[in-house]
Amino acid sequence: MAATVRLATLNDCNVLGPRLRDADKYELKVSCGLGPVTALTHSLSASDNAYVAVDENEVPILMFGVVNAGQDFVGVPWMLGSKGIYQHTRQLQAECKQWLDVVHKDYTLLYNYVHAKNPKAIRWLQWMGFTMVQLVPEFGVGKEPFYEFVKVK
């Protein structure tokens, strides 16, 4: 049973949003104060292209993309997922670096922030080649600790 990746749609935001992992929901709450469906919808509309991984039943399990940061060479990557990703861990690990190359192709620098108390996400980002460059002790609307992470091409 394989997952497939395609361009994301507004309906994918509505289906995936309520099913996001608790860590992703919490990170959204304390960083930007948006609920899952709203955050996914904003991310979809702001991205150059946004993608969704769907399971064998076409149920969205993961969305990702990159938003232009206002400078031609700087992008802000994002990814939000449901527990459904754990049924496709090997496949997603095998393919995620190629998808990172797709969203990184138009940008020299990618950066964003990850909650400091989300060790799974931090390990995954480091495995993907991102570097944690600084701890921001009071980030976002919740004033919680987040790491800024970057990847330079």
CATH value at residue 114: 3.40.630.30
DSSP string, 19-42: GB-HHHHHHHHHHT---HHHHHHH
- pTM confidence score: 0.92
What local confidence, expressed as pLDDT, does residue 83 receive? 92
Cβ-count burial of 61 within 10 angstroms (0-12 exposed, 13-18 middle, 19+ buried)? buried
Q: How many CB atoms lie within 10 A of CB 39?
A: 24
Domain extent at residue 38: 4-152
Question: pLDDT by residue (tens digit) across 81-123?
Answer: 999 888 777 777 777 788 888 888 889 999 999 999 999 999 9
Residue-wise pLDDT for 39-51, tens only, equals 999 999 999 899 9
For the chain, how many structural domains are there in total?
1
Select from 49, 36, 23 the least CA-distant residue to 114: 23
SS3 state of residue 119: helix
| The pLDDT of residue 103 | 81
